[in-house]
Amino acid sequence: MGRASIKENKNVYQLKREELGLSREKASELLECVPPERIEKIDSEKVLPHP
Q: Could you tell me if residue 2 is inside a domain?
A: no
Tell me, what's the pLDDT at 51? Answer: 75
> How far does Cα 30 stand from its chain's mean position?
12
Q: How many domains does the chain have?
A: 1
Q: Which domain holds residue 36?
A: 12-43
Q: Could you tell me if residue 36 is inside a domain?
A: yes
Answer whether 24's CB lies under 8 Å from 39's CB. Answer: yes
Mean pLDDT of 5-11: 79
Mean pLDDT of 18-39: 96
DSSP string, 5-29: P--SS--HHHHHHHHTT--HHHHHH
Mean pLDDT of 11-36: 95
Supply the pTM of this predicted model: 0.77
How far is residue 11's CA from residue 29's CA, in Å, rounded to a whole number? 21
How many Cβ atoms sit within 10 Å of the Cβ of residue 9? 6
Going by pLDDT thresholds of 50, 70 and 90, the confidence category of residue 14 is very high
Tell me, what's the pLDDT at 24? Answer: 96
Mean pLDDT of 36-48: 94
